[in-house]
Structure 1
Amino acid sequence: MATTAASVTDTCLRAQAAARELAAVPSTVKDAALEAIAAALVDRTPEILDANARDMEAGREAGLTTALLDRLQLTEARIAAIAGQVRDIAALADPVGEVVGGERLPNGLDLTKVRVPLGVVAVVYEARPNVTIDAAALCLKSGNAIVLRGSSSAARSNAVLATIAGEAATAVGVPDGAISLVAGGGREELAELATQTGVVDLIIPRGGEGLKNALKGVATVPVIFAASGNCHVYVDATADLDAALAIVLNAKTQRPGVCNAAETLLVHADAAPAFLPRALAALRDAGVELRVDGRTRTLAGAAVAADLLDAADEDWDTEFLELTLAVGVVDSVAEAVAHINRHGSGHSEAIVTGDVAAARLFERAVDAACVYVNASTRFTDGGEFGMGAEIGNSTQKLHARGPIGLRELCTTKYVVRGDGHVRS
């Protein structure tokens, strides 16, 4: 497996050579490699935990937030879950060679459109060491070589995970260089990786707005941003309020430091008098800091009023990634949609309603990768969507939108078969 002992350019060139071989590797070999990776993760759990403990200690000393430390931490259960996701990916159908469409043309040529690997995929990510394995497994299954570039906060964890994956894969016939890690460099290294035109076919940054902006300024290779999630739950006038409360609590508190957690609650004025006192009290009791507009404060009830903070303008645009929630009252589903489209990040948005027309309006009008009706935003995840895992969640509109799984890591080519055909 390549490390920063080689330059970024040399690592990418080795990945490109590996990708050209990997594109023709049969599914049986790729699946065997994934099974070997999963087994190695379980067998070498103590080694992984030791490396992660040192990252966690350094992170606490550096003052990382609770949310970032949660993203960074690996446990025996989390490692087992990562290995399970690798096996889930192995069990999926190989997208390479899948026929997307085809026809016989009037001139007798047989035209077939098939999926093929992109080639070399670079993934740049912050804190989350599980991305090392998720991304490597997805790229391997889809026939792509991967160049990983994690953050310094997870350097030890990423190094051991990438080493384990690389060694396990090459041992069963995957080309050397198919799984590579560059780590330890600064912005110059990131810029070098993002400018490997003709070598790196796609770069996927998975992190905050700072990482996104850093790449925007330098990248010359195609980029799909696995971007931030300023997600909303809107409780409509006809909502089942018990279901709404369960959805709001899950979306906000089940794991607040992730991109599909809710950051804003909007409540229809007709539901607010009955719903807000219950919801705000339950959220407060769950440890959530509540930043509210004036209408919410008026309807909150005496039991929670003293615990509420006034929402500032920037709160509606903030991905808190912690137990903080902005809360507002709106007069219609259209007003809720307008608020979401103005302040949201295009990630995941939910409506809780008993009105089919309101649900359909929300589905059609909200501009987001994932729209939920009567369900929590926390389901936006490749594993939950049956993809085995994901590299990230794209909020863009070209090529891939939503969880980036196997098919999103492929492009297509046309295969044209003839019988001595020439064009007249």
Structure 2
Amino acid sequence: MSADPATALPEDPVALVRAMGTRARTAARTLAALSTATRAAALRAAAAAIRADAPAILAANARDVAAGEARGLSAALLDRLRLDVARLEGAAAGVEAIAGLPDPVGALVSEDRRPNGLVLRRVRVPIGVIGIIYESRPNVTADAGALCVMAGNAAILRGGSEAIESNRALHAALQRGFVAGGVPADAIQLVPTTDRAAVGAMLAAEGLIDMVVPRGGKSLVARVQAEARVPVLAHLDGINHSYVDGAADPAMAQALVVNAKLRRTGICGATETLLIDRAFADPAPLLAALIDGGCELRGDADVQAIDPRVRPVEASDWDTEYLDAILSVKRVDGVEDAIAHIARHSSGHTDAIVTEDAATAERFLNGVDSAIVMWNASTQFADGGEFGLGGEIGISTGRLHARGPVALEGLTTYKWTVTGTGQIRP
């Protein structure tokens, strides 16, 4: 198999995806038969290749960032796009961490012996071929490729045009490492064109792509969910809430909320709405810390009365994922009012409560129906690596198959094996 799929693939997007899918299907069968040790060794070789290629990858990323600045990309998108030495090392370390995780492939989910003596087992197996469609973040190339391969799946990666140089450099390093470790080159393929028609071709590739994972803005994910003829694992927005209860520790509340909003504003785990209990004694220092930290606050008259620097809020703000240093703020009447607001406006991604009252926290944890619900923790922890998963292919806000950070186990399904001793059905 060619180590560079682009050299032998057609230019027509539909034919291109079909050729890539056919190669990926063959590679997936080979991957499924490889041992845990072989797949893990390939990931460690891929991490070493990323480190070895660091100068070339960072140079490619610098070209993407310069092009993005020239195109007028927002500060949030540029932050998602930008790699530096630390972020690239984080990507390499993440690939290594995935190699050290327990392998779900072949794991026994359940076992049952029927009265007639049949033994039924459910065993985890790879899904097959995973298509990942993503924007801006070149680190997804490393995370998604490593997770798919470690779970025994072949990956077809389609990154955004704004990160094309970075993705190509990262893909080349990953693929070289995988091949050195005994994994087929076609186990990880990068769509070589930025033609948007390739996305549509991936969404229609029934029988070649088993699942599509979109990672990007609302328009991308909405298109994928509307057009896909293959299963989709996705979330739309990260409209996340941090609720400061009347029983919250003020110093903790300030530290958590500032981190939840401002640590990195362009990630899907950033808080976008702050809810403050009217019983919280002194919200002024909390708002001041956010504004002084460079955050624009938007609130109604109640919030503006606390700090005149707060700008007026619009109804649409409650349903906006800013991905920027902007935060909508509302005062609520206790935990039930907070839960009701979240039910109306949350995207079901991540919502958090800050309180010292365990009973109130329990009410929030049970009452908020999101993929991730937190107590006294920053919403920025909504990340597969922080959950000990070694990385994530995305955060699912759906209810089927997988929910929350999706890592190795979420990239497997299961099959039944039935062992008998000659039983026939009467």
Same fold (TM over 0.5): yes
Per the normalisation by structure 2, the TM-score is 0.96
Confirm whether residue 115 of structure 1 aligns to residue 117 of structure 2: no
Stretches (4+) displaced over 3 A: 1-5
Q: Structure 2 counterpart of 1:419, which letter?
A: T
State the shift of 1:186 in Å. 2.8
State whether structure 2 residue 233 is matched by structure 1 residue 224. yes
Within the candidate set 246, 250, 259, 2:268 is matched to: 259
| Structure 1 equivalent of residue 395 of structure 2 | 393
SS of match in other structure, 1:146: strand
How far residue 216 of structure 1 moved from its aligned partner, in angstroms, is 2.3
Q: Does 1:283 align with 2:290?
A: yes
- CA contact 2:49–2:176 (8 Å) conserved in 1: no
Task: For 2:301, give the aligned amino acid.
Answer: G
Deviation at 1:422, TM superposition (A): 2.2
Query: Could you tell me which residue of structure 2 aligns to residue 382 of structure 1?
Result: 384
Q: CA deviation at 1:420?
A: 2.2
Q: Is the 8 A contact 1:125 1:205 kept in 2?
A: yes
Range with greater deviation from structure 2 (104-113 or 320-329): 104-113
Q: Report how far residue 172 of structure 1 moved.
A: 2.1
- The 2-side partners of 1:150 and 1:139 are apart by 16
The letter for the 1-side match of 2:282 is F
- The counterpart of 1:194, out of the listed 196, 203, 209, is 203
Aligned-pair CA distance for 1:376:
0.8
> In structure 2, what is the equivalent of residue 296 of structure 1?
303
Output the CA distance in 2 between the equivalents of 1:315 and 1:3.
Answer: 44
Look up the match of 1:244. Answer: 253
Partners of 1:150 and 1:183 within 8 A in 2: no
Give matches, 1:5-404, under 5 Å.
5=7, 6=9, 7-271=16-280, 274-298=281-305, 300=306, 304-305=307-308, 307-404=309-406
Distance in 2, Cα, partners of 1:264 & 1:275: 18
Give the C-alpha shift of residue 8 in structure 1. 1.2
Q: Secondary structure at the match of 2:206?
A: coil
Residue identity opposite 1:196 in structure 2 = A
Residues 38-86 of structure 1: CA distance to partner in whole angstroms, max 9, x if unpaired?
Answer: 0011111001011111101100000011111111111111111111111
Paired letter, 2:337: E
Q: Aligned equivalents of 2:4 and 2:230: distance in 1?
A: 21
The verdict on how the C-alpha distance between 1:369 and 1:380 changes in structure 2, with shifts beyond 3 A counting, is same
User: TM-score w.r.t. structure 1 length?
Assistant: 0.96
Any stretches of 5+ residues in structure 1 without a counterpart? none
1:308-347 CA deviation, whole Å, 9 max, x = no partner?
Answer: 1010011111111111010110112111111111111111
For structure 2, which runs of at least 5 residues remain unmatched after alignment?
A: 10-15
Partners of 1:342 and 1:183 in 2: how far apart?
A: 41
Q: For 1:233, what is the secondary structure of its paired residue?
A: strand
Distance (whole Å) between structure 2 residues aligned to residue 181 and residue 422 of structure 1: 49
Inter-partner Cα distance in structure 2 for 1:4 and 1:326: 46
Task: Quote the sequence identity (%).
Answer: 47
Q: For 1:323, give the aligned amino acid.
A: A
d(CA) in 2 for partners of 1:267, 1:171: 54
What do the CA deviations read for 1:192-240 (whole angstroms, capped 9, x no partner)?
0111111111000001111012212321000011432011100111111
Distance in 2 (alpha carbons) for counterparts of 1:224 and 1:392: 8
For residues 248 and 109 of structure 2, the distance between their equivalents in structure 1, rounded to whole angstroms, comes to 40
Deviation at 1:2, TM superposition (A): 5.0
Distance 1:4 1:333 in 2: 55
Q: Distance in 1 between matches of 2:352 and 2:271?
A: 9
Return the letter of the residue paired with 1:295. Answer: D
